[in-house]
Structure 1
Amino acid sequence: MGLEWEVQVRFPSDTPVAGIELNPWVRVNYKGSYVSPPNYALQFAWYREFSTLPKCVEDYVAFQDHASRDSSMTIYGGGLNQEKHGLLNSEGLKIVDGEGKTWIQVGSSRTYTPSEDDINSSLRLVSVAIDDMGIKMSINVFVTTPVIRLPRPYPRHMIVFCSLRKLRNPKCIATPFKEESFRVLSYNILADLYTVSGAYTHCPNWALTWEYRRRNLLNEILSYDADILCLQEVQSDHFKNFFESEFAKVGYSAIYKRKTKEVYSANEYVIDGCATFFRHDRFKIVIKYEVEYDKMALPVIEVLEPDKRNDGLFRLMKDNVALVVILEEKDNGRSQDAARSTICVANTHIHRGSDASDVRLFQVVNLIRGLEKIDSSGIPILICGDMNSLPGSDPHRFLINGEVGCFSEKFRDPLGIHKHLKLSHSMHLLFVEVIANVFSGQCCGC
């Protein structure tokens, strides 16, 4: 039976980094299929390649003598395959593999965080599946490349904004807020789901692993000391298990809206979404709205010609979302006109597809259509997100100018979706214009 089952182990990268947790994906399967195995337990042992050999021969002889008196114990790729002897939990144990390399045990959990002592040495993970009777079902041995030192982060080259007075939309009348200013950060953090698509071949695999990126992301985001954070591509399990608790430790409350179509990854269904964080000592939630663009597509699809409706379903039923929240600034002992102490923050991630300019315009138009209702009440509106639209594109011109007018040469609308959209709005979007001017180079030299 032990030959029928196999332990599968997969690492996001085979290059460990000192200080970054190694968290392998481990699964037990019947060979050649996904049939569920009987009840089993997993035991792990981590080893570091031993660079020097003091007492190597003595230790090996002692181990071989012990193994020869117990026929159930063997050396398998440098690891022991019988947990019942407790040797998988013997940190400091030295063993010798078939190539004569010496390994010293450094851990016995599924995860392991390489230390400075591990730098330039390879690591070996021995994973053993054991059934209810304590008998080995299968074993897996995985050897990494040498551990590397944690690199220093590259300095950020930030865009310097010109004075808002130089860029101000003449149609925009700024509404004073309670304090002189507050800081907002919008950041697409790249969901781990999308790092395996092959789109980032310029980046080494170890730098794409979530265990490496999550701490860097957290440190960078916190360094901006923002009052409001709008993050896109926040994976649902990462929000629950990492971001929500980490930001709560430093005074942020959080709301989250996941996309509508989940995928199966690492033994669970996950998807990314938009997360908005705000300092709870400064703001409180008045109300929030969740926007699902695929639901907004149904009325448009229904009015298409019958032979175009299936294509309309395929084209418009994307799972992108937006999260809209109205925040009220806490008084903190000061009195202020309530109308000036609220702000609406919209956080969205618009569809990316290279041939989907009509889809992007559809989603942006519907977002603005909803925000216009809030704008009519006099509440200032801040739109954050990843629009996947360059300056001069039709969604971008719609946001800035309040209308599209003539479509750009790159606009593609095979189903005539634009005919069913209201392509004008009355909102005056100052911050969108700031971004447009920066991207178009008009801030150079400031």
Structure 2
Amino acid sequence: GGKKGGGKHAAPQVLLELRGHDGQALPLEDLSNCQAFSQAHKLLVFAGGDARQDSPLERLRILHDVPTVRSLRVLEAPPIVGMPILPLVSLDRCQPGDCEWTWLRLAPEQSLGEAAAATMEIPVGKDWTYTPSEADVGCGLKVVCVPLSPSPQGPVRGIPMEVQVGKERERKELKKKRHPNLSPLATLQNPMHPVLSQRRSELHTPSPGSIRFATYNVLLDAFCDSDFALRHLYGYLQPEFAAKYYRLQMVVAEVLSMHVDIACLQEVDEGGFRDFLVPHLALGGLQGVYANKMTESRWGQAVFFSKRWHLEAEVAVDLTTVWQQHDDIQAAAAVDATLAQNLSVSGTVAQLVLLRSSQQTMGHEPRRICVANVHLFSHPLAPHIRLIQTALVTREIRAFTSRHGLVPGRDVGVLFAGDFNAEPSSGAVEFLSTGSASKDHAEFAEGRAFADIDHCSKAAREELWHAVMLADDVRGARGLFVRVDGAQGNGFVDVDRFVDAAREQMLADAALEQDKKQDMQAALEEVPPPPGSLSYSEYYRWLVQLKAKQPLVFSTILHSLTAFASTAATTEAAPSVRCAAVEAYTAMDLSHDLDLQSPSGYFHQDPENGQQRSVEMPCTYFAGDPPRAETLDHVFFTVGYFSNARLSFQPLNMEALKAEQGLPSPAVPSDHLAVVVDLELAIQPHSHHRHEAE
């Protein structure tokens, strides 16, 4: 308003008129403001006077139910050439496909956060998703979303929202997390390993009647980006390449390049699954289901499957409690309190997913597959827990399929896969391959040493990370025991006397440096073997304690003792470790009748002598300081329901792995390598001999 008295600066009078969709003026005297504006479609503004005589100064359109962008999020990491970016958008009154999208390439100066007014923004895309090209390298990217919704008068445009890929907040987080050299705004070259790229480029979509199946531990962000991990496990990895969304882009690219029908993933962050893996893998036609571990931490496992398969059922089996429903395992735990505790605190979940094929896409009558996705208990000193968990999963597969009226091998095939945290020679792999585990299995005796380890404390686990028995140590321990026990032994050895005899030779060994001899002597004095005859379990517990106290000289001591045993032995070594059955486990009947086999042929019978033999499998894990190569990830399938199972391609060989220094790396996002298998569905599935009784 103007000054009092209507001076020369008084505001001009105007007249407002609201008109409905028929163009007629609304009776404002009969309506409240809310009612009037909800019915109006135009607002006319007139100069003072009669609205019917004057032309309006303004004709303003009144929009109803205007579409709105509530939030817009994009990748919080550097974009990578060839890897699609899918904004996560929350909208009111419209869908992402209705919106107008614009992708802009920013000059390098702006992508580094030093924008100048004259910086150019070049349009490079008009779709919801955008895949960076070589032309984007070194430049930033911005996306603009204009929400649109249809109306009789034409599309209604809401207020645009824009966001730059790799936000300033993320830049601060990267610096805070020891990533000072990584700009979260500039597009990067595609760093995928050239060998993997070449091999995967040769893969084609599976033909009708065949299945491509993969298992892949994608490495949880909390395990990769922590101070402990970067200091002790992945010291060779530049911190910027440990960033969560850098690695998730690489994981998506790897999974999509495999052209899989079904993929089992482990160490999946729940938020990363929901916000990144699901929408980005959907671009390649994959949908997924998630199962959280039985802990408060929000991470677990996921199964993704292509459009050739439909989800019929899923269940997350709580392996920390389900053992209580099995009388034999419950009886064992009642005798051994540490077994009960270890089973209960493992946090392990088994994800069971029942899938049905489409007849049109698979070329057969509809077929069903039960996928068992596992990530077994990881502590190196707990092989017995992994063996029992494996047995529990086979029982739960039977129960799960039975609830749906299905018999494995006849009505449904089983794909049992995941990160076993166990080598091919392990009890878990042997159990799946042969169908049983003996009551006196060496891993039960070895597991008794787990009671001596404070495994519940995270700090204690990290402190002992380099001081636990690894697969090579276990093989060495077993090899030494069978040599000392001998072919005529009884499963008990006088370790104290043997070590005393070997010590003299070790101290006289000219090949050993004097400092090394002194360190070995000091180690054996600090952790001497118990006197008297020891069972394998007692002997193994001593070695566990020796490794924990003296990890730097342990391997040398074990090697020297084995060399002495080889020269001093008067009889042949025992064919295998003799160990009396641990009392607590004698009640357990660990067996299954699922007729499972690995594409690698673990524990196949040798046609010449009928003996079980294990077949070499490529390395699937390469990490640590220094990195160690292990085969921890496995795939098993139902014999008769599937045929011609084979590895789709070989993972990186040792030469290529050593060139990477260790995993993960800029080119490989996890410390594991994916195992990818091609299988064919049998035309007429048949039950193997173990099902004949049915």
Shorter chain as denominator, the TM-score bin is: 0.5 to 0.7
* Matched residue, 2:597: 430
Q: Quick one: distance in 2 between partners of 1:427 and 1:301?
A: 20
Matched ranges for 1:203-242 at <5 A: 203-242=237-276
Matched ranges for 1:28-427 at <5 A: 91-92=115-116, 116=138, 145-147=180-182, 150=188, 152-156=191-195, 179-195=208-224, 196=226, 197-198=228-229, 199-263=233-297, 271-280=298-307, 282-298=308-324, 303=331, 308-309=336-337, 312-332=340-360, 336-338=364-366, 341-373=367-399, 374=401, 375=408, 378-405=411-438, 406-408=440-442, 412-414=446-448, 418-427=585-594
Amino acid at match of 1:321: V
Q: Residue deviations 1:295-324, cap 9 Å, x none?
A: 123457854576843662245431111111
SS at match of 2:255: helix
SS at match of 2:359: coil
Q: Quick one: distance in 1 between partners of 2:436 and 2:247?
A: 39
Amino acid at match of 2:250: N
Q: Residue deviations 1:13-46, cap 9 Å, x none?
A: xxx985369xxxxxxxxxxxxxxxxxxxxxxxxx
1:286 and 1:326 in contact (8 A); partners too: yes
Q: Residue deviations 1:234-293, cap 9 Å, x none?
A: 111101111111122222221110101123xxxxxxx2211111112x111222222110
1:18 and 1:115 in contact (8 A); partners too: no
Amino acid at match of 2:251: L
2:368 and 2:411 in contact (8 A); partners too: no
Q: Quick one: distance in 2 between partners of 1:321 and 1:424?
A: 20
2:263 and 2:305 in contact (8 A); partners too: yes
2:381 and 2:446 in contact (8 A); partners too: yes
**Structure 1 residues 319 and 253: alpha-carbon distance in aligned structure 2, compared to 1, 3 A threshold:** same
2:217 and 2:265 in contact (8 A); partners too: yes
State the Cα distance separating 1:227 from its structure 2 match: 0.9
Q: Quick one: distance in 1 between partners of 2:255 and 2:290?
A: 17
- After TM superposition, the score normalised by the length of structure 2 is 0.38
2:346 and 2:377 in contact (8 A); partners too: yes
Larger radius of gyration between Structure 1 and Structure 2 = 2
**Structure 1 residues 306 and 273: alpha-carbon distance in aligned structure 2, compared to 1, 3 A threshold:** closer
2:318 and 2:349 in contact (8 A); partners too: yes
How many residue pairs match? The answer is: 304
Stretches of structure 2 that go unaligned for 5 or more consecutive residues are 1-75, 84-107, 122-131, 141-165, 200-205, 402-407, 452-581, 603-613, 620-646, 651-694
Amino acid at match of 1:429: L
Q: Quick one: distance in 1 between partners of 2:617 and 2:114?
A: 58
- After TM superposition, the score normalised by the length of structure 1 is 0.57
Q: Quick one: distance in 2 between partners of 1:311 and 1:337?
A: 45
Amino acid at match of 1:423: L
Query: Which has the larger share of strand?
Result: 1
**Structure 1 residues 256 and 126: alpha-carbon distance in aligned structure 2, compared to 1, 3 A threshold:** closer
1:252 and 1:279 in contact (8 A); partners too: yes
**Structure 1 residues 155 and 315: alpha-carbon distance in aligned structure 2, compared to 1, 3 A threshold:** same
Q: Residue deviations 1:111-166, cap 9 Å, x none?
A: xx997159xxxx99699xxxxxxxxxxxxx979744588463223469x9xxxxxx
2:209 and 2:362 in contact (8 A); partners too: no
State the Cα distance separating 1:336 from its structure 2 match: 4.7
Q: Quick one: distance in 2 between partners of 1:388 and 1:352?
A: 6
SS at match of 1:92: coil
Query: Which has the larger share of helix?
Result: 2
**Structure 1 residues 242 and 418: alpha-carbon distance in aligned structure 2, compared to 1, 3 A threshold:** farther
Stretches of structure 1 that go unaligned for 5 or more consecutive residues are 1-15, 22-47, 51-88, 95-103, 107-112, 128-140, 161-176, 264-270
Cα RMSD of the aligned pairs, angstroms, is 4.3
Q: Quick one: distance in 2 between partners of 1:305 and 1:273?
A: 26
Q: Quick one: distance in 2 between partners of 1:421 and 1:401?
A: 17
* Matched residue, 2:655: none
